[in-house]
Structures are given as C-alpha cells and as structure tokens.
Amino acid sequence: MKTAVIWFRRDLRLADNPALAAALASHERIVPVYVHAPDEEAPWAPGAASRWWLHHSLLALDAELRARGSRLHLARGPTLPALRQILRQSEATAIYWNRLYEPAISTRDTQIKQGLLDAGIDARSFKAGVLFEPWEVRTGLEQPYRVFTPFWRKAQTQLQPRPPLPKPRRLATPAAATGLALDELGLLPRRRWDHAFDAHWTPGEAGACKVFERFLQSALRDYAVDRDRPDRHGTSRLSAHLHFGEISPMQIAWALDEGVRQAGDSARSAAAASFLREIGWREFSQHLLFNYPSMPEKNLNPRFDGFRWASKDAAAIRRWQQGRTGVPIIDAGMRELWATGSMHNRVRMLVASFLTKNLRQHWHHGQHWFWDTLVDADLANNAQGWQWTAGCGVDASPYFRIFNPVSQGGKFDPQGDYVRRWVAELATVAAPLIHHPWTDPAILRSTGYPPPMVDLAASRALALAAYQDLPGSDGS
Ligand SMILES: Cc1cc2nc3c(=O)[nH]c(=O)nc-3n(C[C@H](O)[C@H](O)[C@H](O)COP(=O)(O)OP(=O)(O)OC[C@H]3O[C@@H](n4cnc5c(N)ncnc54)[C@H](O)[C@@H]3O)c2cc1C
C-alpha cells in the first residue's frame, strides 16, 4: 500500500489543504506529522502566547484526525532526521507539505526538500497559506511592490477564487511507532498568565469556521466603519486562525465571493471588498518579508537609520507593557493584550505610535513585546505593522503624522466603553473626560489612576525635531 507523510506546520486544518488533498489523491495511507523545532526559526522562535495557541491547535487537529481514523504523530526537531525516521518507520515513499515564506523557515525547507529528494523520497510542497505566492505579484518591470495600493490593484486582477478542497471523511494511517505526547513539547507557558485566554479563543479548525461564520452573519455588513472601533465587535478576530492555517485565505475569498453572488446587492459587495482588502494587507506583508527578508530587523526605509531614538528606558518600556502610562486608551490596549493575547488594530497603531514617537523608544522594543504576547504574532504582519506605524517602512504612515491618543480615543471610542472595559480604575468616569482624566485632578485623586508619564504635546514636538534632523526630511 502506498503511504505518504503529511508534514503539518502552519496549515493546521483538514479542509482546503492542498498537500493533504494531493497525498490522498495518490496514496492509500497517510501519516500526519508535526515536528516541533523552534530553534530552526531563530531568531524568531514562536513567543509564549503563540505557543499557547499552538498547543491547543495541535490538540484540536489531533481530535479531527482521530474522528477520521487517524492521529497526529508528534516529534521534536532537528526536523530532517525526525522526518527521515518517520518515513522509515511508516515505510512511506512520499512527503507533502504546504509552503511557508519566512526567511529562516524557507531556507530550512529548501535544504530539507533537497535532502529528501536525494534520498529518493518524493518530496513536494504546495501553496496553501496565501492567495498569492510572494513572487507572483510583480510590477510591470518584474519588481516586487513597495506600496500597498498598486500591489492590491494588481493582485486583484490575478485573483481567482476557487471552491475550497473538501475535508476528507476517513484517513487510513499505518500503526507506526508512537510519537511524543503533546505535553512533552512543553508549549504551555511556565508562568501562567493565560488564564483568561480560553474565554476568548477556540484554537483549531472548528473554532476558525465558527468565528468566520459568525462574522459573515453579523459584523461583515458594517465592517468598513466598525473595523476602526475598539468599543464594538466590528472585526473578524481571525488573525491567529489565519496565522496557524486553521482557515485558508482562499476559503475566505471564496465565501465572500459566494456571499456577494447570492445577495447581489452593492452594500454586501462593498463590505466584502473592504474585508478582502485587509486580507490583502496580510498578503502584502508576506510579499514584503519574502522580498525584503531583513524587514524584522532593519528599517525598510534606510533614511531612518540615522534617526535619533532616545536611549533605551527600561522603566518606561515596562510602564508601557503593563498599561500604566497614564494615557487611558494606551493603557486599555496594553491591558487587553495582556489579558487576551490580542489587541484591536486601531489601538495597536496608537500604542505603537506612543512608544516610538511620544517615548521615542526603538520600534524593536514594541515588536519583541508583541511577538511574545500576541496569540496572532506573525513575523511579516508584526514587523510590517511596527515599521508602518514608526514611519520607517516602505509604505508607512509619515513619521510626522503622530497619533494623538486623546483625540483618537474621542473619535474611535466616543463613549469610553473600550477604556472602561480594560482600565478598572476609570470604570466610573464618563466620556469625554475618560480620555484625558488628568485635566480633572479630582479624578486622579479619587481613582488612583496615574497622570500621563509624558507630556503629549512636548514629546510630540521632540519627536518632530528628531525627524527634522533626518537627511532629506521635508518635515511637516
Ligand atoms: C504594530 C502592529 C503590529 C501588528 N502585529 C500583527 C501580528 O503580529 N499578526 C497579525 O496577524 N496582525 C498584526 N497586525 C495587524 C492587525 O492589527 C491584526 O491583523 C488585526 O488586528 C487582527 O484582528 P482581526 O483578525 O479581527 O482583523 P480583521 O480586521 O478582521 O482583518 C481580517 C484579517 O486581515 C489581516 N489583517 C488585518 N489588518 C491587517 C494589517 N494591518 N496588516 C496585515 N494583515 C492585516 C489579518 O489576517 C486579519 O485577521 C499588527 C498591526 C500593528 C499596527
């Protein structure tokens, strides 16, 4: 009987899984495998919140496999010898996987593929986690794009939504030697700060489908406006599910397309386009990281290399991390992150702007904290988000556009509901004061909430002055 190994990585689903579908098309038996090898992703081994998600997602995948007569074989790296051993034990002659594009991973995967092909194994990889491989969308001069709008315009001309590949009903797996137990991978944090995560997330394919279905039925309609409102449930909350491949962007593109076809109204179509555009940002981040692999470490705009960051202030960074800056919407965001492993996109931009502009701390400090605490921590999206907000990216928010957290709070959290949800000290303060409680000293006295750690206007002026020093800066 022909047997193939399916090497699961960040494609932790059975539906619309091209590697799995291809293996099943030409093999009677499959061996589903996950190899834990964080060192091979250095210096970006998954952070603590990400490992929490991975633990639960592997558990969910194993349950889905068992329901179909199979199970997930777990192993520890180094990956190549681990895969060789599983191939030998199961007498498999082929191994299939879905591609990833981060620099360390794709270098490793190229070596693994060559090593296996040299040994006579049929090793194949597939496109599964993106709508476009990062080399598929090119400018007229065959160059990668550096600006989102033309990238997305071109990408949409190439997009061909197709029906998702079906979920297999049964999977025959040989009785190979048992692998490790999930707990042996040691993914759950030693310091348990994650007690509330369960209430917010259901990692795994079934959880992803449920979240997406709910979003299609409810929030999609008003997405274009509500996506900027942290006080509403206006976004999909799919980012971690997408990162771990529990749902594919093609499943999303197809469902949006179907929805528009069935409803046939222009409002539905505009809402779908607005949501797909955000999936487009995810594609753009992958495109940038693949074509500019130093993006997590280096400014994409080299003019920024001479920027006068303030020297590292560990105490200030800690106050930012702990949500004790004295600026309500910043503190709400940082506390939401700690409690849930996530933060609303608008607030991510505000806290990133506060750290890099008002405190003038290097964007790397924020990027690393997000890397460790976000359940959706993603090398491409995170680096892109930080470079965009800090102003040093390729298609970045101009540095001199410094978010004012008070006016942003008033605009996107007008009643203060978001701040009240996360900053318990301010639970009884009404809008608009809730976004600038320091203007009424009695509030600070009665609530114990601290005054702002930095003067917003003065720190803004200092940041602008530092920006003016950059070569070729046109300032305002
Ligand atoms: C400083 C900073 C850091 C960020 N770090 C990450 C990260 O590590 N991982 C991550 O997935 N996103 C990151 N983002 C992007 C964005 O904040 C999240 O994707 C979004 O908040 C997830 O919520 P959602 O799934 O409800 O989004 P929705 O609004 O429902 O969007 C749907 C999907 O589109 C993608 N998406 C949305 N916005 C963006 C964006 N700006 N860039 C790239 N993809 C996007 C995500 O996959 C998201 O799930 C970061 C943004 C900033 C400003």
User: Tens of pLDDT along the chain (476 residues)?
Assistant: 899 999 999 999 999 999 999 999 999 999 999 999 999 999 999 999 999 999 999 999 999 999 999 999 999 999 999 999 999 999 999 999 999 999 999 999 999 999 999 999 999 999 999 999 999 999 999 999 999 999 999 999 999 999 999 999 999 998 866 799 999 999 999 888 999 999 999 999 999 999 999 999 999 999 999 999 999 999 999 999 999 999 999 999 999 999 888 887 888 899 999 999 999 999 999 999 999 999 999 999 998 999 999 999 999 999 999 999 999 999 999 999 999 999 999 999 999 999 999 999 999 999 999 999 999 999 999 999 999 999 998 876 777 789 999 999 999 999 999 999 999 999 999 999 999 999 999 999 999 999 999 999 999 999 999 988 887 765 43
Catalytic residue among 41, 281, 291, 425: 281
Q: Is 382 a catalytic residue?
A: no
154 shares a domain with 67: no
Rounded Cα distance between 172 and 408, Å, is 55
Rounded Cα distance between 318 and 313, Å, is 9
Amino acid at 197: F
Ligand 1 centroid from CA 239, angstroms: 6
- DSSP one-letter code for 311: P
Rounded Cα distance between 366 and 377, Å, is 12
Ligand 1 centroid from CA 226, angstroms: 15
Q: Does the CB atom of residue 370 touch ligand 1 within 6 A?
A: yes
For the domain that residue 403 is a member of, what is the CATH number?
Answer: 1.10.579.10
Q: Is 278 a catalytic residue?
A: yes
Domain encompassing residue 70: 3-128
Q: Is 40 a catalytic residue?
A: no
Confidence (pLDDT) at 476: 38
Rounded Cα distance between 466 and 117, Å, is 54
DSSP string across 165-191: PPPPS------PPP---GGGG--S-SS
Would you tell me how many other CB atoms lie within 10 Å of the CB of residue 149?
12
257, 291, 325 - which closes a domain: 291
Q: Does the CB atom of residue 55 touch ligand 1 within 6 A?
A: no
123 shares a domain with 10: yes
167 falls within a domain: no
239, 259, 291 - which closes a domain: 291
Tokens representing 472 are: 């070729």
Q: How far is CA 413 from CA 102, 238, 421, in A?
A: 36, 22, 11
142 shares a domain with 117: no
Q: Does the CB atom of residue 278 touch ligand 1 within 6 A?
A: yes
φ, ψ of residue 18 in degrees (nearest 5)? -60, -35
Confidence (pLDDT) at 337: 98
pTM of the model as a whole: 0.97
58 falls within a domain: yes
Rounded Cα distance between 327 and 354, Å, is 10
Out of 278, 287, 342, 394, mutate this one to test ligand 1's pocket (max ligand atoms within 8 Å of CB): namely 278
φ, ψ of residue 402 in degrees (nearest 5)? -100, 120
Q: Does the CB atom of residue 236 touch ligand 1 within 6 A?
A: yes
141 shares a domain with 111: no
Give one word for 360, left, alpha or beta, with left for phi > 0 and alpha for psi -120 to 50: left
76 shares a domain with 50: yes
Residue in the structure block whose two tokens are 């981040």 = 285
462 shares a domain with 316: yes
329 shares a domain with 389: yes
Question: Using CA positions, which residue lies closest to atom 30 of ligand 1?
Answer: 236
229 shares a domain with 157: yes
Would you tell me how many other CB atoms lie within 10 Å of the CB of residue 28?
11
Amino acid at 208: A
389 shares a domain with 311: yes
Residue in the structure block whose two tokens are 């114990």 = 448
Ligand 1 centroid from CA 162, angstroms: 24
128, 151, 184 - which closes a domain: 128
Would you tell me how many other CB atoms lie within 10 Å of the CB of residue 138?
14
Question: Exposed, middle or buried: residue 326 (CB in 10 Å: 0-12, 13-18, 19+)?
Answer: middle
74 neighbors 85 (Cβ within 8 angstroms): no
7 falls within a domain: yes
Please choose, from the candidates 357, 307, 326, 280, the residue with its C-alpha nearest in 3D space to the C-alpha of residue 471: 307
Please choose, from the candidates 285, 286, 258, 283, the residue with its C-alpha nearest in 3D space to the C-alpha of residue 272: 258
Confidence (pLDDT) at 21: 98
Out of 239, 340, 368, mutate this one to test ligand 1's pocket (max ligand atoms within 8 Å of CB): namely 239
Q: Does the CB atom of residue 230 touch ligand 1 within 6 A?
A: no
Rounded Cα distance between 352 and 349, Å, is 5
194 falls within a domain: no
- DSSP one-letter code for 306: G
357 shares a domain with 259: no
321 shares a domain with 455: yes
Q: Does the CB atom of residue 229 touch ligand 1 within 6 A?
A: no
Confidence (pLDDT) at 176: 66
List the 3-8 sheet strands across, edge first.
Answer: 73-76, 29-36, 3-8, 94-98, 122-126
For the domain that residue 57 is a member of, what is the CATH number?
Answer: 3.40.50.620
196 falls within a domain: no
7 shares a domain with 75: yes
31 falls within a domain: yes
Confidence (pLDDT) at 37: 98
Going by C-beta distance under 8 Å and a sequence separation of 6 or more, which residues neighbour residue 273?
Answer: none
Q: How many helices (H) and strands (E) does the chain have?
A: 20, 5
Q: Ligand 1 atom closest to Cα of 351?
A: 1
Q: How far is CA 273 from CA 155, 219, 232, 264, 392, in A?
A: 13, 14, 20, 13, 28
Catalytic residue among 133, 193, 345, 438: 345
Rounded Cα distance between 11 and 142, Å, is 29
464 falls within a domain: yes
Total tally of structural domains belonging to the chain: 3
Rounded Cα distance between 204 and 247, Å, is 9
9 CA to centre of own chain:
15
27 neighbors 4 (Cβ within 8 angstroms): yes
Q: Does the CB atom of residue 252 touch ligand 1 within 6 A?
A: no
Q: Is 281 a catalytic residue?
A: yes
14 neighbors 206 (Cβ within 8 angstroms): no
For the domain that residue 155 is a member of, what is the CATH number?
Answer: 1.25.40.80
Question: Using CA positions, which residue lies closest to atom 5 of ligand 1?
Answer: 382
419 falls within a domain: yes
Torsion angle in degrees (nearest 10) through CA of 420, 426, 201, 385:
90
124 DSSP β-pair partners: 96
Confidence (pLDDT) at 1: 81
